[in-house]
Amino acid sequence: MGYPKDLLSSRSIIKHGLYALITPEGLVNNVVPGFENCSMSILGSPKLGASFVDYIITMHEGGKNSEGFCGQPDVESFVYILGGKVKVTAGEQEFILEESGYVYCPPGTKMYLENLEASDARLFLYKQKHKPLEGRKPWVVSGHANQIEYRDYDDMHNVHIKDLLPMDIDFDMNFHILSFDPAASHPFIETHVQEHGAYLLSGEGMYNLDNQWIPVKKGDYIFMGPYVHQAAYAVGREPLTYVYSKDCNRDASL
């Protein structure tokens, strides 16, 4: 890096408990036990007000987690491959994944990671405490998002969505990919109890967070806390696309 070339400035916005826009330029590396030859940063976390933890990871040559990530009886995890070729082992099951590949590990199942190539692999990783439902249990799920068909989002032909996990009550969260063609937008500004952690995969847009319109682009991370106003307009020439988590299928607790 070295000496700065201009006045220091940042597009990041941090509103604890409400929302955060975290741009890649401000990230620093965090050492997380179990990860070797990896550069990683913690994004959303309980310190920001999120009930989950998100990480962005670059796995270098030989990058791995062979101790196993999570695996506690009440913690679930999810990984999405942004680039490269990675072996993900969920308990006894092995998956070789490339860009858009993902794995969900239910509570009690450790996730092992290994970069299979000499070049870097990039990952978006998530964990949260699972909210159990009596008689129900989620299971290991894997796939490649680019093999899942989009469907129209809210009856609009220029907004597209896909679900990465089963829409099943055994699961207390899901990951989705939402994509806006240039000039498309949400149908309304949402205000809902669920939280999101979103990683922007492509494009540019104006994002409404707490009723402020904020420019965002590929590589940005957004945390949206409960009830925070949220909506997007896509601008530019490429679709504005992001992968994001959303809690679901559970009542609010008193």
Of residues 162 and 196, the one with the C-beta less far from ligand UGY: 196
Residue reference for tokens 């990919």:
177
Of 238, 239, 225, whose CA–CA distance to 13 is shortest?
225
Which of Mn ion, ligand UGY, none does residue 18 bind to, with CB < 5 to 8 Å depending on kind? none
Does 230 bind ligand UGY (CB under 6 A)? Our answer is: yes
Of residues 104 and 207, the one with the C-beta less far from ligand UGY: 207
Out of 99, 163, 181, 190, name the contact with Mn ion by CB under 5 A.
Answer: 190
Which of ligand UGY, Mn ion, none does residue 222 bind to, with CB < 5 to 8 Å depending on kind? none
Does 246 bind ligand UGY (CB under 6 A)? Our answer is: yes
Which of Mn ion, ligand UGY, none does residue 160 bind to, with CB < 5 to 8 Å depending on kind? none
Of residues 36 and 190, the one with the C-beta less far from ligand UGY: 190
Does 245 bind ligand UGY (CB under 6 A)? Our answer is: no
Does 131 bind ligand UGY (CB under 6 A)? Our answer is: no
Of 16, 20, 24, whose CA–CA distance to 40 is shortest?
24
- Please give the Cα distance from 144 to 191 (Å, whole number): 30
Which of Mn ion, ligand UGY, none does residue 178 bind to, with CB < 5 to 8 Å depending on kind? ligand UGY
- Can you point out the beta strands (E) in the chain? 13-15, 19-22, 36-42, 52-69, 75-83, 86-90, 93-97, 101-105, 111-115, 121-129, 141-144, 151-153, 156-163, 173-180, 196-202, 204-209, 212-217, 221-224, 230-235, 240-247
What tokens appear for 70 in the block?
Answer: 């999570």
Which of ligand UGY, Mn ion, none does residue 240 bind to, with CB < 5 to 8 Å depending on kind? none
Q: What residues have CB less than 8 Å from 165, skipping those under 6 apart?
A: 104, 141, 171, 173, 174, 175
Q: Least distance from C-beta 232 to ligand UGY, angstroms? A: 7
Does 170 bind Mn ion (CB under 5 A)? Our answer is: no
Residues that bind ligand UGY (CB under 6 A): 178, 190, 196, 224, 230, 246
Residues that bind Mn ion (CB under 5 A): 190
